[in-house]
Each structure stands twice: as C-alpha cells, then as structure tokens.
Structure 1
Amino acid sequence: MSGGLYRSNHAADGYPRPEQGVTVVSVDEQSATASGDQALPPENVPPASDDSGGKSTAGQSAIMAIGSMVSRVIGFVRTALLTMTLGGLVGNAYTNAQFLPNQIYELLLGGILSSVLIPLLVRRRKEDPDGGQAFTQRLLTFAVVSLGIATVLVVVAAPLITAIQSSDDADPDSTRLVTQLAYLILPIIFFTGLSGLIGAVLNVRGHFAAPTWAPILNNLVVIATCGVFILAYGSSGELTPKNITATQIALIGGGTLLGMVVQALGLLPALRKVGFQFRWNWAPRSLGLREIGQLAGWMLCYAGANQLAVFLVVRVLTKTAGDNNPSTLVYNNVFLLIMMAHGIIGVSVMTALLPKMSAAAAEGRYDEVSADLNRGIKLTSAALAPIVVIYAVLGAPIAVFLFQGARFTNANALATGTVLTVAAFAVLPLSLSYLCTYAFYSLQGNKTVALINLPVVAVRIGAYLVLAEVLKPALLAAGMTAANGISYLVSALISLAVLRRRIGRLNLGTVVSALIRVAIAAGIAAALGLLVLHFLPGSGAPDGRVQALIQLIPTGAVILITYLAAAYLLRVREITQVVGMVRRKIGR
C-alpha cells in the first residue's frame, strides 16, 4: 500500500528494491491454493525452515536485525551523498531513472517472488527426494533467461518508457538525461531479479545473513561512486541536465549498476555454503508455470495498482523538476524517512504479533486476534507519536542536517523540510494500515488485502489528480505526500470494517480512548517544542548543519521528555509500563 517510489527490504536503506519493504514470508501453500489466495508478503519475516544449520531463530533474528540497522544507516549515507553530489535538478532525473527498473521489476517478479515462488521452493525442498535441488536449478535457469530477455527489451525501449513517464510540459533536457541514465540503470532489473532469487534459495535453506547484509555492498559501491564524482568534478557549481557531461552520466549511472552487480555476486559464496550447486537445466514445462500464473494473479493486481499510482506521481512531479521546486528527489528522500520510522517501530510490533495472531486465527480464537490487533494499534501509536511530533516540528532542521551540502542548497533542504512536516501526519496511518494487513495475513485473507488495495489506490490517484490541479508547483511534492497519508487512513478504516465482519467485535472503544490520550500528550509535546524552537537561532529555518544541530538537540529532548511525562500522567498504558520497568531497574 506504499505511495513511495522506492520499496526497500530494509525500509530505508537507500537502495530502491521491491518495499514496499517486502522480503519473504512462509505461507501454507495448500491453504493458499485452496482458497484462491496467496500471500502478499509482510516485511522482513523469514520463511520457516528446518535447515538453519544449527543456528537458533533468536540468533538468526539478531543477525538480521543488526544487518538491517547497519543497512539503514549506510543507506541513508548513500541517499544523502547522492543528494549532495547531484543537487536538485540532476537528482530528480536520477531518481526518475532509478524508479524505472524498480517499477518494472516489481511487475515482473517482485511480489511474485515472495508470494508464490518462495512457498513453492519451500514445498519442493520438503517433498522432493533431492531436497528441491533440480527444481531450483530449473527455476533459476528459466528466470535467468526470462529476466535477460525482459531486460534487453526494456533497455531498447528506454526512450519510449521515459517519454511515457514524463509529463508533456517536462523540461526536455531533463527528459533526455533520464533516458541517458536509463540506458545504464535499467539493466539493474536483471541483477535485482538474480539477487532476489538467490536470496530466496538461501532463505529456504535457512540462511538469512547474506541476503540481509548484501545490500550494504551495493550501498558502499554507490557511496564510493559519489566520492569519485566529487574528487573528479568538485562539489561546487550547479549541475544541470543541460551541462552534465557524458562522462559524468557514465560515472553515476555505471556506479549505480555496478552496485547492484556487486550485491548479486556477493550472494554467490553463500550458495556454496548451503550446499546448492547451480547447473543449467532448461525445462520450463516441468515448473508448472500455469499454476504459478494462477497463484500470481492477485499479486499482480496488487502490484499493478500500486505501480499505476507511482507512475502517476512521478508524472505529476516531473512538471516541477526544472524549476528547483521539490520534485521526485525530495519526495523520495522524505518517503525513506517515513519508512524508517515505520520500519523501526511498526514492523517490529507487527513481526512480534504476527505469529501469535496466526496461531490464534488457525484455532478459531478470533477474540485473541482482536485483542492482539488492539494491542498492536495502541503500542504502535504510543511509540510513533513522538516521532510524528519530531518530524512535524523539526522537519526543516532534520532535512538541513541530513541533506544540505555541496550542490543541494539550503533552500532545497528547507523545501525538503516542508514536505517532511506534511509527511509526519502520514507515519501513523501508514503503520496502522500495515498492522491491519498483518491481521489479514494471520487469517489467510491475502486476496482480501489485494481487493482492499484497489479502492485505496483509487483514492490515492484521485487525491493526486485533484491536488495537482489546485496546488502551486512548489507545494506539489508536499501535496502528493499528503495524498499518500489520506490513502493510508482510508486503508486502515476499510480494513477495520472488513476485519470486524471477519472476526467480530474489535473493542475499538478502548483503542479510541487510548489514541485520544496519545494525541493530547503529543499535542502538549508539540506546543512546547515549537515554543523552544522559536527562541533558538534560526527559529526553525536553519542556514546550515551547525544551526540545525543547535535546534535539533534541545527541541528534540524537550519533545521527547514532555511526551513521556504527559503520556505517563494521562495513563497511556504502554508508556506507564515502560516507565515502571525503568523505575524497577533503577530501584534494584
């Protein structure tokens, strides 16, 4: 249900992979087939496997958690460096070119990999006498050929794809630059697919470390590319679609492609470690492609609707790309910040609740599913509220501190801050909509998720079109972000209504009461934060990183302390539990 351009395995690691933040999940293949549903994969939930090589689930989870956090940090360094190196105008074109392979990959393989192929690999791993070795070889052979043909066709059609993506009144120089970058970046489709398939093979065999850590190699290559670019061409002087040279285009586009190649190659040693040997085995008829196609239908519906919305938002934002207004670069950077908050808090809560909810649903204990859902909503809301306030109050200082530098000016960073302030109000609806989606996963209602997504995307697209007509170009990126927030809220409301019909009473009265208390605590924290910010140098519009830091540290501390104190006094249960635990530890 994402409204972002980049969908990352680690939510905000800087590499645009299929995120909506989705990786892999195990499902009951027989149940999915019988019901006509198939899993629409949650984020970062590894499939069940008996081949963990003696490593405990806790140990595997720790490796994944550490890798995910390191990837987030390095990914943000990558994002910030690209922003500073390229600046707003060329950065927009680069973002548009990066968007193309990921949208196409998502339609070709992204969701199908997690929702259909991984469960199939799990089943063949358990049922085949050779542990699924021959089947996996046939699948990889077919995928390599298919991805190779698709990639060649897409690269040849790069000018046409770019023309369709660009709005009629887009800057011709920007459109030409997107096409030139696309020739270099579109081959990422092949290596992204190869990386995803190898990761699936490893996950099915109980190896999670390499797929978790491999994106870091990608990020490091791109960071190095930015370093070479700055050393060779300097960090000052405006870089535009008109004055960028062919050598500069080759460096930044080639470095981006090289990062994905290194990521894919970095997974090969892990294949040998788990005992899988790849041999060319061309036998597509033995793969059951008709069954795979039938299972993939709803996933394609889900992914297709999302990609239509992403296509539209890129087309709308390309209208502003030539005027130094916030465009796709700013929009996407802010989306990564939203996904970071969601990934740290929302996904953690969901991953903890999903096994319990699934077990309760399997035994028909729907009252427990309802109780876990309520608990998740209250916990997620209480934990995300201070982040929402910090994003809303300190949007400009955060953007200046993270992104300003080299060719990304103070004005660009302050404009990013405006978009982040608007995006703050989308953080909570996003996580709540995902939490409801996880409840459907526990009920094996994945087809329902795809159907709910259709009106949600319709609302999002409608909001895009309306806001594109009424807003000034300088506010379009903020408007598109607001449209995403509206669609997330609609998704949560529709999902709750459908869940009520599926599992009965949801006890939403207690949830509303808790949300009101959280909102009051957040409001008090926001008011005090704004008061403190008013008396600091720059008054919320810092002119550099030093001033941004001066605003961030005291104001952020006041917001956090005030929120915790107010929530404790208002008896927000989740906060009182944390405070009580800390007090007991101090007492000991």
Structure 2
Amino acid sequence: MSRVLRASAIMAAGTMVSRLTGFVRTAVLASAIGIAALGDAYNVAFMIPMMLFDLLIGGVLSSVVVPLIIRAQKQDADGGRAYEQRLMTVATMVLVAIAVAGVLAAPLLVDLLTTDLSPTEAQVTVTLARYILPQIAFFGVGAVAGAILNTRDRFAAPMWAPVLNNIVVIGVGLLYHVVSTAGGDISRVSGADLTLLGLGTTAGIVAQAIVLIIAVHRVGFRFVPRFDLRNARLGEMGRMGAWTFAFVIANQIGLTVTSNLATGATGRAGAEQVAGIAQYSFAYQFFQLPYGIIAVSVITAMLPRMSRYVQEGRPDLVRDEFASGVRLVSCVIVPCGLLLMVLGPAVAVLIFAHGNTSISDAINLGNVLQVFGLALVPFSIYQLLLRVFYSFGDTRTPALIAVGNVVVNIAGSLIVYYTLPPRFIVMGLAFSFTVAYSVGGAVAWNLASRRVGGGLGGRVVAAGLSRMYVAAIPAAAVALAALWATQRIAGLSPLTSGITVVVGGGLAGLIYLVTSQRMRIAEITSIIGLVAGRVGR
C-alpha cells in the first residue's frame, strides 16, 4: 500500500488544486452566464467535444494504450520509442479530422443531445459548440502525452496541467462579466460574447496540452512523425479497442438520453424554475471532486503496476494491488459521500449563488448534488474494478457491463421522466445513475474476482467499508445538525452557507478522523502519517 499511497499523494496534490480551481472556474462561469438557458447552452456545447473524443478515441487511450506502451517498452529493441511516435502521429491525424467533422456537423449534434430548445437556444448552442469543438485535437494530443508520462511513472504533470486550463477559463469568465451586458439572458447575448466564451474555453485546453507536451519532452520523448503504420500495432489496438469502443458507445447513449431528459424537464416546467442540464452537469462535476482527488490518483498509479504484474504472470500481486487501492479510496470516499448527501444545498449556495445565479437555482443544484452523494462509493469502486480487466488487456467484459449499466440507467431515467413532476426529474436522473452503478459494481466485482482467481476479498472489503461508515455516520450527523440550525435561524445565503460548510464540515471531518483512529482504520492512519511526515520536513 505504501507505494500506491506515495504515488497517489503526489497526484492527489495536483488533482486537488486542479479540482478546486475547476470549481472556481465553474462558479465564475455560473455567476457570469447563470444556470438557466444560457448556462444550459454552454454546458451542452461543452459536452459535445468531450463525448466525441471519448467515443472515437478517448476510451482507447484510457484503457488500451497504457498496457500497449508498456508491452512495447518491454519487447521492442528501442524501448518502445518508435511505437510512441507512431501512436502520437496517428492520434494527431485522427483528432484533427474529428474536430473538423464536428464543427461541420454541430447543428446535428446539438439536435441529438437536446429536447424542446427554442430557435434562439438552439442557435446559441450551435455557435458555442463550433467554437469549442476544435479543442478535441488538443485534448487528445495531451491525453497521449499523459499516457506516455504515466508509463514512465511520471504522474505530476498530467495532474497539474488542468490547473492552467482552469485559470485561463476563470479569466474568460471574469472578462465576460466586465465586457458583456447580456449576463445570463440568452436573448441578449451577442456574437462577441459567444466568441469570448467559446474560444476562451478552447484556449484553456490548448494551454493544458502545451504543458503536457513540454513535460513529455523533458522525460526524453521526441516527436518524429512516423507513417510506417504497419508497425503501429493498429490491428492489436483495434481488437482490444473494439470492445472499448462498444463500452464508450454504451456510455454515450446513456449520456445522450440523460441530456435530452434534463433539457426536456426545463421545457415541461414552463415558467417554473427547475433543475436542468446545467444543474445536472455542475452537480456531476462537484460529485467528481472527491473521486478525482483520491480515486483517480489511485487508479492512475494502479494501472501501470497491475499491467506489469500481468506481464510477469503474477495475478496474486494484481489482487493485492487492487485490494489496497479499494481500501485507500474508500476511507476518504465514504465520509465524502455522506457529507455531500447532507451539505449539498449549502455547498451549492456557497459556490454558485452569485451574479446571474439565484439562491433558488443553486438550491435546486444542491438537491441534485445530494442524490449524487449516494453514488460516490459505488461509482468509485466500479471504476477501480474496470482497471483490473484493463490490466489483463480485457476490454470485452467492461463493455458488456457498461451495456447493462446503460440499460438500467435509461430504464430508470425514463420512469423518472414520465412519472415525476418536472422539479424532481433531474434529481431522479441522479438517482437512476446511482442505481445503475450499484448494480454494475456488483456484477463487475463478481466477474473481476473470477478473472484474477481466488477472489478479491469481498468479505474483508465489506467489513472495512462497514467500519468506515460507522466512523463517518456521527460526523455526518454533526454536519446535518449544522445545516438544520442554519436553515432554522437564518436561512441559506452565501454567507450562512459558508459558515455551515466551514463549521459543520470541519467538525465532521475532525470527528471522522478521531473516530477512525480510535477504530484503528489502518488506511486513515497511513494517510495521517504521510501528511505528518511531509509537514515535519
């Protein structure tokens, strides 16, 4: 566990700064353009390049490329350098073509992802999408560079590079505040306003890619375009990536349905202010904060190691690596999930209720965030489980699990959409997401246990999770009392919400640390020891 903990700590520091600046970015944008019609348009436009990237190449990069690069490093006479150059060449050509095609097809893509948009809303969304879509090429090149860095156990740059992206977009949001007279009114937004928002967002990704290119150059990678693609192992990548492609298609179908139902909820509500796609997107981003800081860091450190153990024929070490990762992630994710369920409205009002975002809009977002808190543990464990399959080069099983996930999610989402009032629809979509990942996690655990042989220690993990929940429940109760007192005495405002989050959340965190120490939860003790050691230096 110590190796995972040290590598994860390096990444977690960068990820924490990245995620925190990301939420400053989100708050600034929400304040500038609101989370109503213009906010919805921006979020749909921002979603499109991410979906296209994941659909056409991103899934392959995240699951197939790292094991293939490690194999080339072990087997090729040049240590895999020519293979890495071919990979970067192919990725660059494909991504530029995707970006151009996306810009041309923007109206069709917007229509696919939305329901009941007015002509003005549709036109604004298309315009923003055309400005933002070129970022696909830069995002992808940066992702390839990040994969190369990860195979060399260099994790800092991929975790810190998004900070620069966030800073650029924060500057864009602040500038929009100064130069635009439209605010969040989609009927008054000008072409110059949309150019600033769209190209400014793309500029952030360009800056992020430049940081990663510099970092990969410093570790010795030199990009020389190579078109001898017969040696690029594209056939092998295609065979492994075919199931990953199916995996990504399944997830994108689910996201497309969610986007349509969330935009449809605001259309059905009429003049009533209800949560829509902007609230869902922002709540999902906040839900990703604890997952991104701890789980992504552990996952990124785990995959190269597990891939090497598989190459060495040591499934026992794969099992041990996974088990230590689950315990390390869960000791942080468990209390974070409970606190999101309790403090969601206060957090949302504190961060978002400024400028062109009202307190009622922020509370709607906070209610969605509360439901996402339920999903934090099953979602994180599910993502850890997928890396077990990827380390064996198995992309078929995750794809089949994803199809089942999407079926459960879509079924639940449709039930929610057609049975609940508009103001509850987006909360219901978040609950459907939770159910889908709980079911998918149970299935993935069973199949991964068979894959490694000898099981994954389900009873031990369940016992550990139970102890973590026992330690976290008193902490959540204190936070709930703080929220209740605030609402009774003064109501929620940015000021009172800040006090609630600082006092209630701070006391809750302290109680969890003390309780977990008394219960001798080893993972918390290890984290405290690591932090104390670094502070002592």
Give the TM bin, normalised by the shorter chain. 0.7 to 0.9
- The equivalent residue for 1:159 is 107
- The equivalent residue for 2:191 is 246
Instruction: Identify the structure with the greater helix proportion.
Output: 2
- The equivalent residue for 2:20 is 73
Contact persistence 2:89–2:225 (CA under 8 A): yes
- The equivalent residue for 1:175 is 122
- The equivalent residue for 1:338 is 287
**Structure 1 length-normalised TM:** 0.78
- The equivalent residue for 1:41 is none
Tell me the CA shift for residue 99 of structure 1.
Answer: 0.5
- The equivalent residue for 1:310 is 255
Q: Residues 288 and 360 (structure 1 numbering): CA distance in 2 closer, same or farther, change over 3 Å?
A: closer
Contact persistence 1:514–1:572 (CA under 8 A): no
SS in 2 for 1:535: helix
Contact persistence 2:247–2:403 (CA under 8 A): yes
Q: Please, which moves more after superposition, 430-439 or 101-110?
A: 430-439
Tell me the CA shift for residue 374 of structure 1.
Answer: 5.9
SS in 1 for 2:24: helix
Q: Please, which moves more after superposition, 118-127 or 349-358?
A: 349-358
Contact persistence 2:327–2:523 (CA under 8 A): no
Q: Distance in 2 between matches of 1:87 and 1:514?
A: 42
User: Within 5 Å, which residues of 2 pair with 1:192-271?
Assistant: 192-203=139-150, 208-233=155-180, 239-270=184-215
Q: Distance in 2 between matches of 1:349 and 1:271?
A: 21
- The equivalent residue for 2:342 is 393
Q: Residues 539 and 112 (structure 1 numbering): CA distance in 2 closer, same or farther, change over 3 Å?
A: farther
- The equivalent residue for 1:450 is 399
Superposed CA deviations along residues 16-38 of structure 1, whole A, max 9, x for unmatched, are xxxxxxxxxxxxxxxxxxxxxxx
2:41 aligned with 1:93: yes
Tell me the CA shift for residue 115 of structure 1.
Answer: 3.2
- The equivalent residue for 2:243 is 298
Tell me the CA shift for residue 156 of structure 1.
Answer: 0.9
Tell me the CA shift for residue 297 of structure 1.
Answer: 0.8
- The equivalent residue for 1:535 is 485
Q: Partner amino acid for 2:481?
A: L
Q: Please, which moves more after superposition, 362-371 or 255-264?
A: 362-371
Tell me the CA shift for residue 459 of structure 1.
Answer: 0.9
User: Within 5 Å, which residues of 2 pair with 1:361-372?
Assistant: none
Q: Distance in 2 between matches of 1:442 and 1:99?
A: 29
Contact persistence 1:533–1:539 (CA under 8 A): no
Tell me the CA shift for residue 87 of structure 1.
Answer: 0.3
Q: Distance in 1 between matches of 2:16 and 2:320?
A: 30
User: Within 5 Å, which residues of 2 pair with 1:178-189?
Assistant: 178-189=125-136
Contact persistence 2:8–2:294 (CA under 8 A): no
Q: Note the residue ranges of structure 1 that are not aligned, 5 or more in a row.
A: 1-44, 47-56
Q: Residues 498 and 107 (structure 1 numbering): CA distance in 2 closer, same or farther, change over 3 Å?
A: same
Q: Partner amino acid for 2:42?
A: Y
Residue 54 of structure 2, aligned match among 106, 110, 113: 106
Tell me the CA shift for residue 72 of structure 1.
Answer: 1.9
Q: Distance in 2 between matches of 1:209 and 1:263?
A: 13
User: Within 5 Å, which residues of 2 pair with 1:54-73?
Assistant: 64-73=11-20
User: Within 5 Å, which residues of 2 pair with 1:459-470?
Assistant: 459-470=408-419
Q: Residues 424 and 206 (structure 1 numbering): CA distance in 2 closer, same or farther, change over 3 Å?
A: closer
Q: Distance in 1 between matches of 2:146 and 2:501?
A: 39
- The equivalent residue for 1:423 is 372
Tell me the CA shift for residue 275 of structure 1.
Answer: 4.6
Superposed CA deviations along residues 193-231 of structure 1, whole A, max 9, x for unmatched, are 222234444555665544443322222221111121111
Q: Note the residue ranges of structure 2 that are not aligned, 5 or more in a row.
A: none
- The equivalent residue for 1:434 is 383
Tell me the CA shift for residue 567 of structure 1.
Answer: 5.4
Tell me the CA shift for residue 303 of structure 1.
Answer: 1.1
- The equivalent residue for 1:30 is none
Q: Distance in 2 between matches of 1:231 and 1:355?
A: 46
Q: Residues 242 and 561 (structure 1 numbering): CA distance in 2 closer, same or farther, change over 3 Å?
A: same
SS in 1 for 2:486: coil
Q: Residues 282 and 345 (structure 1 numbering): CA distance in 2 closer, same or farther, change over 3 Å?
A: closer
Contact persistence 1:456–1:487 (CA under 8 A): yes
Contact persistence 1:162–1:179 (CA under 8 A): yes
Contact persistence 1:518–1:567 (CA under 8 A): yes
Q: Distance in 2 between matches of 1:74 and 1:326?
A: 24
- The equivalent residue for 1:412 is 361
Q: Residues 364 and 213 (structure 1 numbering): CA distance in 2 closer, same or farther, change over 3 Å?
A: closer
Q: Residues 515 and 341 (structure 1 numbering): CA distance in 2 closer, same or farther, change over 3 Å?
A: same
SS in 2 for 1:243: coil
Q: Percent identity?
A: 33
User: Within 5 Å, which residues of 2 pair with 1:133-152?
Assistant: 134-152=82-100
Equivalent residues, number: 524
Q: Distance in 2 between matches of 1:136 and 1:360?
A: 22
Q: Distance in 1 between matches of 2:285 and 2:189?
A: 27
Q: Please, which moves more after superposition, 353-362 or 392-401?
A: 353-362
Tell me the CA shift for residue 110 of structure 1.
Answer: 0.6
Tell me the CA shift for residue 398 of structure 1.
Answer: 0.8
User: Within 5 Å, which residues of 2 pair with 1:508-547?
Assistant: 508-536=458-486, 541-543=491-493, 545-547=494-496
Q: Distance in 2 between matches of 1:540 and 1:549?
A: 13
Contact persistence 2:30–2:39 (CA under 8 A): yes
Tell me the CA shift for residue 183 of structure 1.
Answer: 1.2
Tell me the CA shift for residue 268 of structure 1.
Answer: 4.1
Q: Partner amino acid for 2:254?
A: A
Contact persistence 1:382–1:574 (CA under 8 A): no
Q: Partner amino acid for 1:158?
A: A
Q: Distance in 2 between matches of 1:241 and 1:278?
A: 44
Q: In angstroms, what is the RMSD of aligned CA positions?
A: 3.6
Q: Residues 326 and 143 (structure 1 numbering): CA distance in 2 closer, same or farther, change over 3 Å?
A: same
Q: Partner amino acid for 1:100?
A: I
Q: Partner amino acid for 2:237?
A: I
